[in-house]
A = this chain, B = another copy of it.
Amino acid sequence: MSTYSISEVAKELNLTTYTLRYYDKEGLLPFVERTPNGTRLFKESDIGALRIIECLKSTGMPIKEIKSFIDWCQDGDSTLQQRFDMFLERKAAVEAQLAELNKTMEIINHKCDYYKTALDAGTEDIHKDDKIGSLN
């Protein structure tokens, strides 16, 4: 079974070795094994775990909460309910983020139209009547 060094993993996941050691220090990587002299040996499955960690991070979950999840994983079946609830919560969080981002996109699209028209006209004055704020 092949293993990876910390810098190989960093490259693969677009992280730095600093970040990976930081995650380890924060208790996010208890499953990573070491050589007799202390060097971390990442397994394929550890990279998979890191992808899940990155996924949770991208939902806005702070590292301390991700650590709770890691701990639950180590505790086995007795924490299945907590983990399920956690993912339901994350799902709701992502849905909310998607909704907000879509609203944001609408405003941005309006602004793109606004500026395209203004640029064609050479002046913003053309929009005198539909200004949204002091800003455009």
Contacts and interface: CB of A to CB of B under 8 A. Distances in A.
Interface in A76-112: 76-77, 80-81, 83-84, 87-88, 90-91, 94-95, 97-98, 100-102, 104-105, 107-109, 111-112
A136 interface: yes
B58 A133 contact: no
A87 B115 contact: yes
Given A84-B115, A101-B94, A134-B31, A77 B123 contact: yes
The 6 A-B residue pairs with the shortest CB-CB distance, nearest first, are A48-B133, A84-B115, A49-B133, A49-B135, A49-B134, A31-B134
Interface residues of A, number: 54
A15 interface: no
A73 B111 CA distance: 13
Contacts of A118: 77, 80, 84
